[in-house]
Amino acid sequence: MAYRHKYTKVMRKWLKITLITLGSLFILAIIGALIGWMYLKSTFLEFEKDYAENGAIKQITVDGFTFADRNSNGKLDIYEDDRKSLDERATDLLAQMTLEEKIHLLKGSGLGSAMGREKELPGAVGKIVPTPRLGIPAIYLSDGPAGLRIEPKREDEDRTYYCTAFPIGTLLSSTWNEALVKDVGTAMGNEALEYGIDVILGPGANIHRHPLCGRNFEYYSEDPVLTGFIGAAMVNGIESNGVGTSVKHFAANNQETRRNENDAIISERALREIYLKGFEIIVKRSQPKTIMSSYNKLNGIYTSENKYLLTDILRNDWGFEGLVMSDWFGGQNAVAQVNAGNDLLEPGTKKQWDALKEGAADGKLSTEVIDLSVKRILKLVLASRKMQQYKYSNNPDLKGHATITRQSASEGMVLLKNEKTLPITNAKNVALIGITSYDFIAGGTGSGDVNEAYTVSLEEGLKNVGFEINDTARNAYLKHKEANKEAFVKPLGFDAMMHPYSPPEMSLTDVEINHIAETADLAIITIGRNSGEGADRVEKNDFLLSEKEQAMITNISKSFHAKGKKVIVVLNIGGVIETASWKEQPDAILLAWQGGQEGGNSVADILSGKVNPSGKLPMTFPVKLSDHASNANFPLDGEPFNTMSMLSSMKEKSADEKVKNKDYTKYEEGIYVGYRHFDKAKLEVSYPFGFGLSYSTFEFGEMKTTQVNDTIRVTMKVTNIGDRSGKEVVQFYTSKPSTAIDRPVRELKAFAKTADLKSGESTEVSVAIPVSSLSYWDETVSKWALEKGKYQVDAGSSSRDIRKTVEIEIL
Ligand code: BGC
């Protein structure tokens, strides 16, 4: 009895101690969380309290004109007078600002804005902060390359703010049609304008160095000239609305794996000829309002802290006049960033703000440097629509933009194979195989995504042009969807970025396949792929088809062919996949890319023959991934994204701690990217750069070249000898047959897309090739150098279908 009593007492005591310990730990955890939250709030979220936008601006009238009296001094200041030049206005405004106000302007308003929590414009991810004392407004920045990415719904409002999901960048470059891309840009920019956004964070102009880069869909091509011409057209289109662009990610952000610390080690020649060239062309052809530096390091220095890149090359060599902003939380040292010419730190942190103030106080950041960056920011603000008090409607012409999307998407889709199958003429009942046929992918994930109101599936698209959808195939899909309900729920917001929507593929039994082949006139198999920001793709089940997909193609092809019926494969993908092993099986292959919200209609327009395909590949489809020279130095394991590495200041690793292709990537292939490598190494490819079929055939006439001063003018007649109207893309490559240096076999220098030519109709295409574009980067003197002597100009329907060649001499 006494023993039990003693035991109970001891137990009670221990229980008490345990409870007190647990309680204290709990309280400590709460205090810890509170301190953490307060730190997060004051450092990242809400450190801007004194800088709320000044909404009460009075007007004054001078000489019969009305102006905003922004600093409320009752008189017209130079910066308030929009009859004055931008430079005069910015100089005056700068002179009125305190040092504190200037430094404040060099960074955004924090994580809250990056998370799209801006009250005035939910979903906008960045901001140029206001200067209330001088009545300078806040400017909103929003993603991205395929259309605006703002929140479609707002608290306590019934109406919606959907944006148009335009085709992805890679599809737009596949149009090889600068005028069309400009129109898409004009529509995109108009959406920004009408929703009150002043800068679109796009287009993306990085090179497709390797097919597995998770963000290739946002970018244009493996070739810098195509990237540059299409990118400039996009910038010119968007900026024709008076809103800005931010061409990104400058530069060499060619992998997503460890993007925040990866050091891209690149030779000067490869940089100038390949990775910078597209940006250079864009700057020279369209002078974008802003450029976004990238996350990665370049030859040991963060690009946002790299003065050689941002000042010597971008501004001094190329003449860029706009501002450079960092990628979100990019770089490590705020003072080094501004000193390098990275004017604006987005989305900005309290730590950066403090560091800049400290830099100004201890002289590490001079007044001249601060003034230079602030002036660039002020020029953008002064020229903005917001400053002009533009009354945005919140009502862009979404219907009209959907039409542009439908047209441009069908023009960028690439017909890879067509064995007397397309356009579909005598089929009514179409069997749709593969989940993506019913659940079309409009675009990639991450900041390249758009919140669109709807996506037209292939099923809907085909119905819209009068086809009947086979019930057996459809029911099999519905059954599969029902059995995998959770996997078919689309992730939203941040979750969507981390986990691209990709439900499991369906499979069909032999009985089902037989029944489908019996009841349908034709089969369409859709292969879907989705990727995006933060991670790279992998080879297995992504670059390569999965076993289920292979079986789907083989079994459907066998059954349909046994009945004399055709099989079409539609590729609803954002990046290159393997095609060589299975392309013999179907009768036709259409590379539909991710065509935006009207994707299904655009595909149906091509399949039905309403549109004659005219897209051409902006990159090579290799036989094997390992055929790419860059494959020797690329992360192949699809390492997932680590959010913390984006927000935290990372400790620099020692040389032996650094992991190849993660912490650093050596671009050992140099300039041999894409077709430059395949041609030099004489490798067979599945589909070459520039390839794409049409329902028509085009004949190239005689090619003529003339050289006037520094320009080679090339003209050539193109005739549509097919029996339906269509467009052809003529590609002009140059080569130097006898050269003293190591040069690619041929390189794209210009291209022209014809108008829609009627059967039998001819046109003359004409392009200008600057003589300077024949130069190579001579590393021995760090300059462009031009070899004299004979060159060849090739006109091709693809990089491996050269139809005409003319020799020219550079004296
Ligand atoms: C992306 C940028 C994007 C920014 C803002 C970053 O993570 O790399 O492309 O514009 O976020 O969303």
pLDDT tens readout for residues 492-506: 877 877 777 889 999
Give φ, ψ of 489 to 5 degrees: -90, 125
Give φ, ψ of 567 to 5 degrees: -130, 130
Per-residue pLDDT at 1: 52
464-488 average pLDDT score: 97
d(CA 228, CA 538): 28
Length of the chain: 811
Residue bearing the CA closest to ligand 1, atom 9: 447
Task: Classify 263 as helix, strand or coil.
Answer: strand
DSSP line for 347-382: S--HHHHHHHHHHHHHTSS-HHHHHHHHHHHHHHHH
CB distance 106 to 324 below 8 Å? no
Q: For residue 447, how far is its CA from the centre of ligand 1 (angstroms)? A: 6
* Ligand 1 pocket, mutate which of 533, 536, 641, 642 (most atoms under 8 A from CB): 533
Residue bearing the CA closest to ligand 1, atom 4: 328
Q: For residue 728, how far is its CA from the centre of ligand 1 (angstroms)? A: 35
Nearest to 777 by CA among 251, 273, 222: 273
Cα torsion for 62, 64, 67, 69, to the nearest 10°? Answer: 30
* Ligand 1 pocket, mutate which of 149, 257, 327, 645 (most atoms under 8 A from CB): 327
pLDDT tens readout for residues 541-599: 999 999 999 999 999 999 999 999 999 999 999 999 999 999 999 999 999 999 999 99
Residue bearing the CA closest to ligand 1, atom 7: 328
Residue 187, pLDDT > 60, answer: yes
Whether 327 is catalytic: yes
Residue bearing the CA closest to ligand 1, atom 8: 327
CB-based pocket (< 6 A), ligand 1: 125, 143-144, 201, 248, 327-328, 447, 533
* Ligand 1 pocket, mutate which of 149, 150, 168, 201 (most atoms under 8 A from CB): 201
pLDDT tens readout for residues 372-381: 999 999 999 9
Residue bearing the CA closest to ligand 1, atom 12: 447
Average pLDDT, the chain: 95
CB distance 198 to 386 below 8 Å? yes
Cis before residue 726, ω within 30 degrees of 0? no
Per-residue pLDDT at 15: 86
Residues 6+ apart with CB under 8 A from 611: 410, 411, 602, 605
pLDDT tens readout for residues 206-215: 999 999 999 9
Residue bearing the CA closest to ligand 1, atom 6: 328
Element holding 699 (H helix, E strand): strand 698-708
Cα torsion for 579, 580, 586, 589, to the nearest 10°? Answer: 50
Angle of the 178-194 helix axis to the 224-239 helix axis, nearest 10: 40
Q: What is the pTM of this model?
A: 0.95
Distances (CA, A) of 143 to 12, 114, 741: 61, 11, 42
Which position among 223, 327, 343, 605 bears the catalytic label?
327
Q: For residue 53, how far is its CA from the centre of ligand 1 (angstroms)? A: 24
99: burial class by Cβ within 10 Å (0-12, 13-18, 19+)?
A: middle
Give φ, ψ of 615 to 5 degrees: -75, 150
d(CA 146, CA 486): 28
Q: For residue 29, how far is its CA from the centre of ligand 1 (angstroms)? A: 33
What value, to the nearest 5°, has the Cα angle with vertex 711 and ends 708 and 716? 90
Task: Classify 261 as helix, strand or coil.
Answer: coil
132-142 average pLDDT score: 97
Residue 631, pLDDT > 70, answer: yes
Residue 768, pLDDT > 60, answer: yes
* Ligand 1 pocket, mutate which of 109, 115, 143, 494 (most atoms under 8 A from CB): 143
For ligand 1, what atom is nearest to the CA of residue 246?
10
654-673 average pLDDT score: 96
* Ligand 1 pocket, mutate which of 447, 641, 647 (most atoms under 8 A from CB): 447
Q: For residue 326, how far is its CA from the centre of ligand 1 (angstroms)? A: 9
Q: Using CA of residue 19, residue 25, residue 31, residue 33, what is the dihedral sign?
A: negative
For ligand 1, what atom is nearest to the CA of residue 259?
8
Per-residue pLDDT at 499: 78
How does residue 4 score in pLDDT terms, banded at 50, 70 and 90? low
Residues 6+ apart with CB under 8 A from 362: none
Angle of the 510-519 helix axis to the 547-562 helix axis, nearest 10: 40
For ligand 1, what atom is nearest to the CA of residue 126?
5
Residue 33, pLDDT > 60, answer: yes
For ligand 1, what atom is nearest to the CA of residue 646?
7
d(CA 615, CA 598): 17
Q: For residue 620, how far is its CA from the centre of ligand 1 (angstroms)? A: 27
For ligand 1, what atom is nearest to the CA of residue 448?
9
Q: For residue 490, how far is its CA from the centre of ligand 1 (angstroms)? A: 21
Reading the block at residue 507, the tokens are 């499979």
For ligand 1, what atom is nearest to the CA of residue 204?
9
d(CA 474, CA 516): 10
The one-character DSSP state at 619 is: S
How does residue 649 score in pLDDT terms, banded at 50, 70 and 90? low
Per-residue pLDDT at 40: 74
d(CA 430, CA 608): 12
Residue 705, pLDDT > 90, answer: yes
Distances (CA, A) of 201 to 205, 244, 695: 12, 9, 37
Per-residue pLDDT at 9: 77
Q: For residue 125, how far is its CA from the centre of ligand 1 (angstroms)? A: 8
Token look-up 């005035």 returns 120
User: What is the number of other CB atoms lying within 10 angstroms of the CB of residue 750?
Assistant: 22
Q: For residue 418, how far is its CA from the centre of ligand 1 (angstroms)? A: 39
For ligand 1, what atom is nearest to the CA of residue 447?
12
Nearest to 774 by CA among 722, 720, 732: 732
CB distance 393 to 159 below 8 Å? no
End-to-end, the C-alpha distance of the chain in Å comes to: 114
How does residue 11 score in pLDDT terms, banded at 50, 70 and 90? confident
Token look-up 């005739």 returns 719
